[in-house]
Structure 1
Amino acid sequence: MDKPRITIEYCTQCQWLLRSAWLAQELLNTFGTDLGEVALIPGSGGVFKVQVAGQLVWERVKDGGFPEAKALKRRVRDIIAPDQGLGHIDR
């Protein structure tokens, strides 16, 4: 089975690169070798979207802002490894 690709599309006009890079780091630290890639995709117009294997898991406008790391990790986990525990995040 191919490992999933995560994309984080962020608005360059809004200067959301650091937030996107931090979330990418959090996902890589948590899921490590279970991921094939975490890609940052520059965009514009206030975009902030996270997709796992093409499936939208977070969209800033629809979901009411930016995700906390633990909320994003839960959504990603539910797609790529539903049986995996997230330690203190699950408590």
Structure 2
Amino acid sequence: MATKPVIEIEYCPKCNWMLRAAYMAQELLSTFTEEIYGVMLIPSEIAGRYTIRVADSEIFDRKKAGHFPEIKELKQLIRDIVAPDKSLGHSDKSTSSHL
């Protein structure tokens, strides 16, 4: 049996981003109950850091992206790694373009 991945959210406590990290952790735990082992919140020693990793692989960095992830975007990134066939319902990528 494969080991379930741990999602790590490293955030800057000096920037008061703990509540944002905790909210995202709650959303991910609710969505991926069966697919992940857990979510670890890591207070960073590096100012301004907000990085998300799945199984030690970085999937999102606020500084590189120039913004915080929307929860919909984050769920899609994680789903594509931990459960590619899982439907996210209304949070899923749209399959048709809006005209």
Question: When you count strand as a share of all residues, which structure comes out higher?
Answer: 1
1:64 maps to 2:66: yes
Deviation sequence 1:30-54 (CA, Å, 0-9, x none) = 0012111100000131000000001
Q: Distance in 2 between matches of 1:62 and 1:30?
A: 26
Alignment partner, residue 26 of structure 2: 25
1:8 maps to amino acid: I
Q: Distance in 1 between matches of 2:49 and 2:35?
A: 27
Segments of 4+ in structure 1 off by > 4 A?
none
The TM-score with structure 1 as length reference comes to 0.96
Number of equivalenced pairs: 91
Alignment partner, residue 89 of structure 1: 91
Q: Distance in 2 between matches of 1:37 and 1:29?
A: 10
RMSD across aligned positions (CA) = 0.8
SS in structure 1 of the partner of residue 3 of structure 2: coil
Task: Map 1:23-62; keep pairs closer than 5 Å.
Answer: 23-43=24-44, 44-62=46-64
1:21 maps to amino acid: A
> Could you tell me the percent identity over the aligned residues?
49
Question: When you count helix as a share of all residues, which structure comes out higher?
Answer: 1
Task: Map 1:4-15; keep pairs closer than 5 Å.
Answer: 4-15=5-16
Q: Distance in 1 between matches of 2:75 and 2:4?
A: 16
Q: Distance in 2 between matches of 1:26 and 1:63?
A: 21
Q: CA deviation at 1:76?
A: 0.2
Deviation sequence 1:19-73 (CA, Å, 0-9, x none) = 0000000000100121111000001310000000011111001111111100000
